[in-house]
Structure 1
Amino acid sequence: MTVPNTPPDPAPADVQAVPDAASDPFAPPQGVTALGHGTTPLGQRLLPEVRVGAGVVIACLVAGLVVAGLWAWLAPKVPLVVDGDRILYADPEGEQRAGADALFVLIGLGAGIVTALGAFLVTRRRGGGISVALGLTIGGLLGSIGAWRIGRWLGPSSDLIGEARRVGDGGHFDASIDLGALGALLVWPMTAMVVLLMLSAAFGKREEDPPPYWGAPAGASPAGAPAGPWDGPGTETGSGTETGSGPGH
């Protein structure tokens, strides 16, 4: 027994006539994977990031030369005096060693602020990225180590015996500068990271989240998807009225 007004079963020929390759509105575009990446090789995507990071590291190394010169020039020197066959402190209660450490920390703070600000301004258009942060971290640490080593070389000689013989008995000379607290080497990279984070949060590039690969911009139907009853030409969203012919018109 057949229910009235029931359409007949489609014939095999009608079923075969339906195209199997109909466009799927939820399929990703050509060359796009489920993760949203194209078919670009991984090496080509990483190469620009490596270049940016390497440029930041090189800039930090150059800044390290400036830091070394400032530290060797401004760091307080420890005065020594030759007394017979002994080398004594001219000012036993002096705090020149601590002053050298404090000065290195202050210069490191300034270097971290300057390098982070410069890297942010240069890479702001591209949106920064992890390469900038890694470049500042590695470059800041290497720059601090280089400034420490080069600053010691630029400062007074570390050959106390040779300097004592040069000035003779009763002569005065300065001891070499050095860091008593090696933790000062971390000031530059840590400052750079904090400043970069603050600048990125306050003035960083703002980008809207892209729609999923299967979706479409807000307010638009996916390509090939049939319009819903609210997308028709004769409806008004939210008004509750519908134009067109119907009962009573």
Structure 2
Amino acid sequence: MTPAQPSPDHDTHHETDGAVARDRDPGRHGPWAAPLPDKDEPARPPTRHWFGEIAQAVLVALPVLVLTGTALGLLWLWRAPRLPLVSDGEQVLLVSSEGEQVVGADGTFLLYGLAVGAVAGLVVFLLRRTGGVAVVVGLAAGSLLGSLLAWGIGTWFGPTDDIRAHARAVGPDVVFDGPLELTARGVLMGLPLAALGVHLACMALWGPRDPAPQPPVPVPSWGVPDRQPGAPAGDAAPGHDIPGRNGDPPRG
């Protein structure tokens, strides 16, 4: 006896139910979809090359520290106005009580710091145009330390801060220069702010650009076509009735 063969309508009914079941299962993918990740494989943390980033920042900071600190210190020592003092044999007095040499020393440090910082930011951009965060961190740290080094150069190599000893050495009624000092410590930020500002401006104007993001490629998947959003997964979209469902006779 020949076994009964399933009717074509019966096969169509099961194929349609399988498509709906696949559409219900969010874990199933289409034939061209990417494979699912292996659940047994542990997730690998992203590798970060901290050593290379730190080395790059140090390679930027050290030259900036030495060059900007030396240049600014020598310029300040050369161009800053001196504070004239005089001794009457008992005490040290200002030659002019209305002198602006102290404010002039602060302003000179600030102006030359801005100029040296702008040059430093431009040079770092030209030499490290493709650098990232490490270059900016190295530039900021090096320029800030360079500003402190310039302050130290001016005070170390300038007139001595031992005013009484200097007055006894030159004698009474002889004008001599007072020590070179900064009264407004905020001018120390002129060098790093100018360096970072020029570097960031150059990066914004002439730095490398990231490629434009590509639109996502649609991945085909099996399922009931033209299913409206929000409709139940088991119901067919209007105009696509499934034969054999809802009591409708199959269309032969």
1:199 matched residue in structure 2: 202
1:152 matched residue in structure 2: 155
Change in Cα spacing, 1:134 to 1:3, as seen in structure 2 (3 Å) is same
2:88 matched residue in structure 1: 83
2:170 matched residue in structure 1: 167
1:31-74 deviation line (CA, Å, top 9, x unaligned): xxxx9xx87743xx222221221122112211201211111111
Matched residue type, 2:152:
R
Q: What are the within-5 Å matches in structure 2 for residues 1-249 of structure 1?
A: 4-7=8-11, 25-27=33-35, 41-42=47-48, 45-62=49-66, 63-124=68-129, 126=130, 128-209=131-212
Change in Cα spacing, 1:157 to 1:27, as seen in structure 2 (3 Å) is farther
* Structure 2 Cα separation of the partners of residues 99 and 76 of structure 1: 6
Contact 1:71 1:151 in 2 (8 A): yes
Change in Cα spacing, 1:111 to 1:3, as seen in structure 2 (3 Å) is farther
* Structure 1 Cα separation of the partners of residues 62 and 200 of structure 2: 21
Contact 2:62 2:142 in 1 (8 A): yes
Structure 1 residue 90, shift from structure 2 partner: 1.6
Whose radius of gyration is greater, 1 or 2?
Answer: 2
Structure 1 residue 141, shift from structure 2 partner: 1.3
Change in Cα spacing, 1:115 to 1:27, as seen in structure 2 (3 Å) is farther
Matched pairs, number:
198
Matched residue type, 1:82:
S
The answer for unaligned runs of 5 or more in structure 1 is: 11-21, 30-34, 227-249
Q: Secondary structure at the match of 2:161?
A: coil
Change in Cα spacing, 1:28 to 1:41, as seen in structure 2 (3 Å) is farther
Change in Cα spacing, 1:172 to 1:27, as seen in structure 2 (3 Å) is farther
Structure 1 residue 133, shift from structure 2 partner: 1.6
* Structure 2 Cα separation of the partners of residues 28 and 116 of structure 1: 48
Q: Secondary structure at the match of 1:191?
A: helix
1:246 matched residue in structure 2: none
> Higher relative contact order by CA 8 Å / sep ≥ 6: 1 or 2?
2
Matched residue type, 2:192:
P
Contact 1:53 1:132 in 2 (8 A): yes
* Structure 2 Cα separation of the partners of residues 28 and 210 of structure 1: 24
Matched residue type, 1:176:
P
Change in Cα spacing, 1:207 to 1:189, as seen in structure 2 (3 Å) is same
Contact 2:71 2:116 in 1 (8 A): no
Structure 1 residue 209, shift from structure 2 partner: 4.5
Moved over 3 A (4+): 2-6, 22-25, 38-41, 209-212
Q: Secondary structure at the match of 1:137?
A: helix
Q: Percent identity?
A: 37
Q: TM-score, normalised by structure 1?
A: 0.69
The answer for unaligned runs of 5 or more in structure 2 is: 1-5, 16-29, 38-42, 222-252
* Structure 2 Cα separation of the partners of residues 60 and 101 of structure 1: 22
Change in Cα spacing, 1:25 to 1:97, as seen in structure 2 (3 Å) is same
Matched residue type, 1:26:
A
Q: CA RMSD in A?
A: 3.2
Matched residue type, 2:178:
A
1:245 matched residue in structure 2: none
